[in-house]
Amino acid sequence: MCGIIRRFRREGLMLAGAACLAAAGGCYEAISIQPSCPAELAVGETGSLQSGAQNAGQIATFLWEVFPAEAGRIADPTDADTTFTALQPGTATLRLTASDGLFQVISQCETVITDE
């Protein structure tokens, strides 16, 4: 049995996906991400970013972004799992967008960047 498209909010961002959507010849399984990032980094330190992707084989693209942009640098923003280097003190929001070509899912995590 197939379900319906679900829409919900998490951390102020709209997420769209499908629990199980009727498709030609069967059901379509939803993609899901639960990104994780370091809780705290000092300026100059590098930490891991992980997508926490479910049904990762169905995900065609990943895109990591950092806000504000000057807070740090993402090594490879299109990798599911990559690294983040802290450049300025403050709070960095790291947003991950994943798409399977049909649906897009957006979620985020935060890292506090200290001077030392």
Beta strands in the chain (DSSP E): 5-10, 13-18, 20-23, 26-29, 40-42, 46-49, 61-67, 72-74, 82-86, 90-99, 104-114
Question: Is there a domain that residue 9 lies in?
Answer: no
Domain-embedded: residue 63: yes
Which CATH number covers residue 44? Answer: 2.60.40.1080
Residue 58 lies in a domain: yes
pLDDT value, residue 8: 39
Each residue's pLDDT tens digit, 3-13? 444 443 444 44
Identify whether 101 is part of a domain.
yes
What sign does the CA torsion over 27, 108, 61, 55 have?
negative
Least confident of 3-7, 77-81, 83-87, 94-98: 3-7
Range of the domain at 101: 32-114
Residue 24 resides in a domain: no
For the chain, what is the domain count?
1
The chain-wide mean pLDDT, for the chain, equals 83
What's this model's pTM, rounded to 2 decimal places?
0.77
User: Using CB atoms within 10 A of its CB, is residue 35 exposed (0-12), middle (13-18) or buried (19+)?
Assistant: buried
Residue 13: inside a domain: no
What pLDDT, on a 0 to 100 scale, did the predictor assign at position 3?
42
Q: Is 8 a member of any domain?
A: no
Q: So what's the pLDDT on residue 2? A: 40
